[in-house]
């Protein structure tokens, strides 16, 4: 095996019984027909399961929505890109000359895909336990340092998702009044859900804050009305 791939194995903490899997995992489609896209497909699913299991253990008191949001943060491209750089993937990627000259070894999408492919290769090489151990090694510090409250949705996002889940149109916002001098204004914003003939207002030192407060009040009203026996459900 190439010395660079041997060194990569050491950084990963997994010695491949089938080293050709690792070689394929770092091979971009521009380099060879025996490239990493199928491994990437598999690795995406393995990564999601492993991260889900780690979050389930780490945040025992959190609900499905919070865990889903943190998982989405951990498996998105920019997070995978950062991890790929830390373990030195740019130095071992197999790219065509043209792709390499174009900066492919530093491209976030290529690096993220290669990292997922490595996770998929590890799963094929040794099963789920080694793959889970690898994911824990790569993402463990991020998970431990994560404050799940920081990924809680803001009121406007939660309101939009609440309505969309019930196939209702998104709310509208409009400034109904402003008070005070230009450098210290207070905004009043109305949040309306015309489909339900509902409107709530909120105030704040900026339009954004006022919109969030109006959305929060709308959520409170909607959730109260969504209880069994309410008019909204009838």
Length of the chain: 234
Range list of H helices, 59-206: 64-75, 77-86, 97-101, 108-126, 128-145, 155-165
Alpha-carbon distance 153 to 67, whole Å? 12
Q: In the sheet where 172-179 sits, what is the strand order?
A: 172-179, 186-193, 198-204
3-class DSSP state for residue 226? coil
Active-site pick, 40, 44, 99, 190: 44
Rg (CA), the chain: 24
Collapse the DSSP code of 111 into the 3-class scheme (helix H, G, I; strand E, B; otherwise coil) and give the result: helix
| 44 is an active site residue | yes
Does the annotation mark 149 as catalytic?
no
DSSP H or E segment with residue 203: strand 198-204
Q: What is the C-alpha separation between 4 and 26, in angstroms, rounded?
A: 11
Distance, in Å, from the CA atom of 220 to the CA atom of 12, rounded to the nearest integer, reads 48
Where helices occur in 127-184 by DSSP H, the ranges are 128-145, 155-165
CA distances from 159 to 75, 163, 229 (A): 25, 6, 21
User: Distance (Å, rounded) from C-alpha 15 to C-alpha 6?
Assistant: 8
Tokens 């105030």 belong to: 203
Q: Which listed residue (40, 99, 113, 116) is catalytic? A: 116
Query: What residues are annotated to the active site?
Result: 44, 116
């Amino acid at each position: 095996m190439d010395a660079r791939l041997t060194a990569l194995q050491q950084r990963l903490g997994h010695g491949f019984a089938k080293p050709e899997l690792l070689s394929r995992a770092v091979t971009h489609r521009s380099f060879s027909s025996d490239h990493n896209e199928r491994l990437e497909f598999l690795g995406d699913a393995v990564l999601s399961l492993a991260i889900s299991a780690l979050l389930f253990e780490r945040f025992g008191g959190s609900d499905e929505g919070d865990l889903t949001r943190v998982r989405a943060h951990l498996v998105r491209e920019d997070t995978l890109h950062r991890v790929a750089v830390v373990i030195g993937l740019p130095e071992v990627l197999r790219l065509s000359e043209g792709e390499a000259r174009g900066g492919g070894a530093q491209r976030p999408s290529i690096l993220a895909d290669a990292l997922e492919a490595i996770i998929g290769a590890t799963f094929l090489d040794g099963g789920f336990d080694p793959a889970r151990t690898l994911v824990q090694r790569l993402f463990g510090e991020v998970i431990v340092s994560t404050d799940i409250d920081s990924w809680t949705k803001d009121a406007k996002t939660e309101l939009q998702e609440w309505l969309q889940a019930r196939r209702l149109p998104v709310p509208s916002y409009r400034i109904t009044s402003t008070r005070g001098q230009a450098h210290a204004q207070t905004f009043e914003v109305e949040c309306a859900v015309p489909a339900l003939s509902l409107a709530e207002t909120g105030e704040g030192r900026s339009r954004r804050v006022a919109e969030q407060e109006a959305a929060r009040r709308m959520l409170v009203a909607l959730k109260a009305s969504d209880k069994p026996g309410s008019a909204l459900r009838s």
